Amino acid sequence: MAGSRVGFPYTSRSRIEDSQLRANLRSATTAIREKRGRVVAEKADWEDLRLKGEQIRREVLSNLDSYLVKLESSVEKVGGVVHWAVDASEANQIVFSLVRQHGESEVVKVKSLTTDEMGLNEYLSQHGVMAHETDLAELIIQLAHDKPSHILVPAIHKNRSEIRDLFQRTISKGTSLSDDPAVLAEASRLYLRQKFLSAKIAVSGVNFAVAETGTICVVESEGNGRMCLTLPKVLISVMGIEKIVPTLDDLAVFLELLPRSSTGERMNPYTSLWSGVHKGDGPEEFHLVIMDNRRSAVLADPVGRQTLHCIRCSACLNVCPVYERSGGHAYDSVYPGPIGAILSPQLFDSESSKSLPWASTLCGACYEVCPVRINIPQVLVHLREKVLAEGHQSRSERFQFAILSAVLSSGARFDLALWVISRLRFLIDRFPSSGSLPGLVGKWTEARELPELPKETFRVWWRRSRGH
């Protein structure tokens, strides 16, 4: 990587040293992993479902233009209004102008990664509109002015007493609370209920949009989604262009795949489906904002395209040995973990996101659990090549790899190199094993201990003991 000190190797360091964070992460990811394993094992045809899920996503992406047009016309037929946004800033403007048209200065929000990607809350607040997050974890994050660290349990890095202190300072001013999660959940229930009953406008994301019928699907656990989708007069839902499924029966496949992969439940407590505006039931106005924000460029990359299969279940985070140790903040992106490592560098231009394809051991655990069979290791390697080809490699690194390739491509040179190193052993042995080497290899030893050099190399030992 380039010499600048941004990117995963730097952002992850302090997190890895935080043993409390690591303990929290380990217990959380272990617990969800086990739950997932149990409910997935119940489904005899799980692998078939994954294949179907993959096929459906592939079909949608391969004909995305016609599915988008079809979705638009279906949504309009049932009374919804469709807006198109090339990028995040256009999507923000659309949402804001809808809010302003209704003369409102507050909206309630259902947890949505897409609106996080847009930076919608910040945009609205700069323009005088307060967006209230209503998912418990998102509320915690918002009140603490913090950033989410997990797709599914964004406040996974906070423990109960931190949350108690936060709530006492903010939403339940003056009342003292215990740190029992049930008590804390109750405090948020009381605070948010008033918001739900008074809000005129809600903003949500979209889990799936059914092209055939114009039906939008949002899955959730707490009921805050149902509140937002039912009570306000105006509903604005924002989706990336890839969130389409062709038919209701296709949707059913994902309703089997998603909850088991995500929370490790057979089904999440609440799933809401609506098609445009339903007279006498729910919002009187429905707006669907369809946002590209560089997804079309991802589509154009034949290897990268599968990244858009993602249904944001977060199963890949929970099995990732890197995520388990670094946590979500180290990725410095709305999308952490293995999916973040492949999605962020394709969507965002930042220098830090270009380091993410290396934030992996390529162990392949993510591919194994992914409900839509995204070959994450394949995309990681592809993106590494891409980033390097764009010139994001320091001169010294290029030099090192040139030497390495010269040494490794010839048996004689390899032998020679080993001989030289073994002669230099006395030098290396003087180094404390935890110290870092100077010069070119210094970066490597910054984060790794130098292995002890054996007395003789394998090749020497082989020749000696097998005698040739």
Establish if 14 lies at the interface with another protein (CB under 8 A).
no
Q: Scanning residues 358 to 387, which ones bind ligand SF4 (CB under 6 A)?
A: 369-372, 374
**373/367 Cα distance (integer angstroms):** 6
* Contact window for ligand SF4 (CB under 6 A) among 182-190, 309-317, 324-332, 390-398: 309-317
* Letter string b/e over residues 76-92, b meaning 16 or more CB atoms within 10 A of that residue's CB: eeeebebbebeebebbb
Burial of 432 (0-12, 13-18, 19+ CB in 10 A): exposed
**465/422 Cα distance (integer angstroms):** 19
Residue among 168, 169, 171, 136 nearest 154 (CA):
136
Minimal distance, residue 66 CB to another protein, in Å: 5
Among 18, 90, 146, 415, binds another protein (CB under 8 A): 90
Establish if 154 lies at the interface with ligand SF4 (CB under 6 A).
no
Establish if 227 lies at the interface with ligand SF4 (CB under 6 A).
no
Neighbouring C-beta atoms of residue 449, cutoff 10 Å: 11
Q: Scanning residues 357 to 386, which ones bind another protein (CB under 8 A)?
A: 373, 375, 378
Contact letters for another protein, residues 385-404 (x by CB under 8 A): --------------------
Q: Which amino acid is at 209?
A: A
The one of another protein, ligand SF4, none whose footprint includes residue 115, by CB under 5 to 8 A per kind, is none
Establish if 311 lies at the interface with ligand SF4 (CB under 6 A).
yes
Minimal distance, residue 413 CB to ligand SF4, in Å: 41
Q: Do residues 441 and 400 lie in contact, with contact meaning Cβ atoms separated by under 8 Å?
A: yes
Our CB check for ligand SF4 shows the closer of 34 and 186 to be: 34
Establish if 66 lies at the interface with another protein (CB under 8 A).
yes
Establish if 159 lies at the interface with another protein (CB under 8 A).
yes
The one of ligand SF4, another protein, none whose footprint includes residue 310, by CB under 5 to 8 A per kind, is ligand SF4
Q: Which amino acid is at 30?
A: T
Helix (H) or strand (E) holding 460: helix 458-466
Establish if 117 lies at the interface with another protein (CB under 8 A).
no
Neighbouring-strand partners of residue 84:
290
Establish if 49 lies at the interface with ligand SF4 (CB under 6 A).
no
Establish if 41 lies at the interface with another protein (CB under 8 A).
no
Residue among 317, 370, 78, 108 nearest 209 (CA):
78
Establish if 281 lies at the interface with another protein (CB under 8 A).
yes
DSSP symbols for 16-63: HH-HHHHHHHHHHHHHHHHHHHHHHHH-TTHHHHHHHHHHHHHHHHHT
Minimal distance, residue 410 CB to ligand SF4, in Å: 40
Establish if 32 lies at the interface with another protein (CB under 8 A).
yes
The one of another protein, ligand SF4, none whose footprint includes residue 274, by CB under 5 to 8 A per kind, is another protein
Order of strands, sheet of 106-109, starting from the edge strand that comes earlier in the sequence: 81-85, 285-291, 234-240, 201-204, 106-109, 130-133
Q: Do residues 83 and 290 lie in contact, with contact meaning Cβ atoms separated by under 8 Å?
A: yes
Establish if 296 lies at the interface with another protein (CB under 8 A).
yes
Our CB check for ligand SF4 shows the closer of 132 and 373 to be: 373
Q: Scanning residues 18 to 37, which ones bind ligand SF4 (CB under 6 A)?
A: none
DSSP 8-state code for residue 453: P
SS3 sequence, 411-423? HHHHHHHHHHHHH
Minimal distance, residue 386 CB to ligand SF4, in Å: 19
Q: Scanning residues 335 to 354, which ones bind another protein (CB under 8 A)?
A: none
Among 313, 330, 334, 380, binds ligand SF4 (CB under 6 A): 313
Neighbouring C-beta atoms of residue 385, cutoff 10 Å: 12
The one of another protein, ligand SF4, none whose footprint includes residue 312, by CB under 5 to 8 A per kind, is ligand SF4
Q: Scanning residues 199 to 228, which ones bind another protein (CB under 8 A)?
A: 210, 213, 215, 221-224, 226-227
Among 85, 88, 310, 356, binds another protein (CB under 8 A): 85
Establish if 137 lies at the interface with ligand SF4 (CB under 6 A).
no
**345/295 Cα distance (integer angstroms):** 12
Minimal distance, residue 311 CB to ligand SF4, in Å: 5
Establish if 464 lies at the interface with another protein (CB under 8 A).
no
Minimal distance, residue 47 CB to ligand SF4, in Å: 15
DSSP symbols for 105-167: SEEEE---HHHHHHTHHHHHHHTT-EEEE-SHHHHHHHHTT----SSSSTTTT--HHHHHHHH
Give the number of residues in contact with ligand SF4, rule: CB under 6 A: 14
Our CB check for another protein shows the closer of 17 and 281 to be: 281
**Three-class DSSP category at 202:** strand
Binding residues (CB under 6 A) for ligand SF4: these are: 261, 310-316, 339, 369-372, 374
